Every structure is written in structure tokens, then in C-alpha cells.
Amino acid sequence: MNSRFEGKVALVAGGTGGLGRAVTLAFFEEGATVVVTYRRQEELDALKIAAGAAAGRLEAFAIDVTDEAAVRQLIEKILAKHRRLDAVVNTVGGYAGGMKLWELETKVFDQMLALNLRSGYALSRAVVRPMLKQGHGSIVNVASKAALDHAAGAAAYAASKAAAVAMIDSLAADLQGTGVRVNSILPSIIDTEANRRAMPKADFSKWPKPQDIARVILFLCSEEAKVIHGAAIPVFGDS
Ligand SMILES: NC(=O)c1ccc[n+]([C@@H]2O[C@H](COP(=O)([O-])OP(=O)(O)OC[C@H]3O[C@@H](n4cnc5c(N)ncnc54)[C@H](OP(=O)(O)O)[C@@H]3O)[C@@H](O)[C@H]2O)c1
């Protein structure tokens, strides 16, 4: 077992969700204390069971990650308690598709921007200053292959994910030479329970597993990736 994150503290926003849960469990396996944000109690309960003994290193907060004030308060709490925050992974996001732009309700467009862009914005704004102060830190924002492939029926989603990548690229330029690293990852369809339910006839074996993507995220958060900054890394294998 690797112990790259022994004594370290990671925040996984959306850390009880399909991908977030795998990221949280991967951090536990490598010794980290993990703070997650969650929305549904049943997801948190399931994560605690999956974590087993490591659940002692789990802290959970039910906050809206698009709410800047709530995110700021959460970061203050983490720092007051642990005096450090080594990694932040944003797995909060949402998908709306299958509709042409002119059929889309504008509230759905706004939701996509909030979930896929504003979440990373609020988290980055709150954590960059403390990370600069401590002189290190890694942020990984989960975007999507759709940030590059702007398919029909997904204007709001593609736009929100493309903007998220642009934001992180620009933030990387802001942070050049500081020791604080930021990167995006670009999944396509992930083999989550929700996707299996939504597409029961698909060949699940072709979909990347959350655990495999989690390994890439942990690598990006680790010292081994100290030369990777401002990247947008595809994590869709050959699918
Ligand atoms: N799944 C895929 O095939 C796929 C493909 C490409 C990219 N991605 C991206 O990968 C990331 C993770 O996807 P996923 O499938 O793991 O999603 P997920 O299962 O829906 O997990 C996201 C988690 O964040 C929570 N959440 C949603 N809105 C929130 C908010 N405003 N504040 C705090 N928490 C919030 C969700 O709660 P609720 O469950 O209550 O909403 C859920 O627990 C997302 O950015 C997604 O866009 C996913």
C-alpha cells in the first residue's frame, strides 16, 4: 500500500458521489484525512461503510459548493482544525443534455454554469490564499471530454465544462512558480451506478472505472506530479 498522503489533509467536494467516493476511498488507502462535502445522508452512510476503519479519518459537511460564503467557512474550519490543506478535488458537477439550445430552459443553462463552473471557482477562490501561505497544494477540477468535443444537444454542458478548463488554465498561469498546482481532468462516460441505471443496455466494460480515474487524481495531488501544472488530462482511455 502506498502512503503518499499520510498526515495530509484532502478536501473532496462531492466526495460521496460516483467519482468522488472513489477519490475519497483512494485517499484513505494512502493515509489521508479526508473532508468531504455531501448532499444526501444515504450517500454519506454508504461511504462510511465502504471506508471501514478509515471512517475515523472522514469529516463530512453538507454544504452547497456553489455558495461562496459556505465554501469559505468550510475552508476556515478545516484550517482551524488541521492547520493544513494539501489537496482539493472538485467532483461536483452535473449533466443536462439531449436538448437543442433553443429548446433548453434558461434555468438549466444557469444550473450547468453553477455546478460545473461556479463550484470550481468558489473552491479555488477560497483555497488558493491559504495554499499560497503554506507554500504548497494541489487542486484538481473535474471537467469533461465535452469541454473539447462540443456535441449536439449539449450546449450548456459543453460550454460550462469548456469554461471550467479555461478558468483552471488561467488560474495555473496566475499561480506559476508558487508551488500551488492546479489541473483539470477530462472524463467521458464513467462506470458509475447512475450511468448504469440511465443506460442499462450499454456495454459497461468499455467505461472507465471511477477507481482508475481516482488513481490519476491522486497522482496529480502527489509529489510525483510536481512538474504537472495547468494540464487538462484526458481520462477516457481508448473509449
Ligand atoms: N459520470 C460521468 O459519466 C461523467 C462524465 C464526464 C464528467 N463527469 C464529471 O465528473 C464529476 C463527477 O461526476 P459523478 O458522476 O461522480 O457525479 P455525481 O455522482 O452526481 O456526484 C457529484 C456529487 O456532488 C453532489 N453535488 C451536486 N451539486 C452539489 C452542490 N451544489 N454542492 C455540493 N455538492 C453537490 C452530488 O449530490 P447529488 O447526488 O445530491 O446531486 C453528488 O454527491 C462531475 O463534475 C461530472 O460532471 C462525469
In the predicted structure, residue 239 carries a pLDDT above the cut 80: no
- Mean of the pLDDT values across residues 52-70? 98
Residue 84 cell numbers, joined: 493544513
Q: What is the pLDDT of residue 1?
A: 63
Number of CB atoms found within 10 A of residue 61's CB:
18
Query: By percentage, how much of the chain surpasses pLDDT 70?
Result: 99
Of the candidates 185, 174, 96, 162, the residue with the CA atom closest to the CA atom of residue 131 = 174
pLDDT at 199 over 90: yes
Q: Is 112 in the pocket of ligand 1 (CB under 6 A)?
A: no
Which one from 38, 95, 121, 157 is the annotated catalytic residue? 157
Residue type, 27: F
pLDDT tens-digit profile of 136-169?
A: 999 999 999 999 999 999 999 999 999 999 999 9
**pLDDT band at residue 12 under the 50/70/90 scheme:** very high
238 or 74, higher pLDDT: 74
Its pTM stands at: 0.98
How far is ligand 1, taken at its centre, from the CA of residue 177, in Å? 31
Report the nearest atom of ligand 1 relative to the CA of 16: 43
Ligand 1 atom closest to the CA of 64, numbered from 1: 32
Instruction: Break the chain into its structural domains and give their ranges.
Output: 9-234
| Ligand 1 atom closest to the CA of 65, numbered from 1 | 32
What's residue 2's pLDDT? 80
Task: Convert the pLDDT of each residue in 99-133 to its tens digit.
Answer: 999 999 999 999 999 999 999 999 999 999 999 99
- Is 157 a known active-site residue? yes
pLDDT band (50, 70, 90) for residue 238: confident
- The beta-strand segments (E) located in 99-227 are 137-142, 180-186
40 in ligand 1 pocket by Cβ < 6 Å?
Answer: yes
For domain 9-234, give the CATH number: 3.40.50.720
Residue 5's Cβ-side half-sphere holds a number of Cα atoms within 13 Å equal to 31
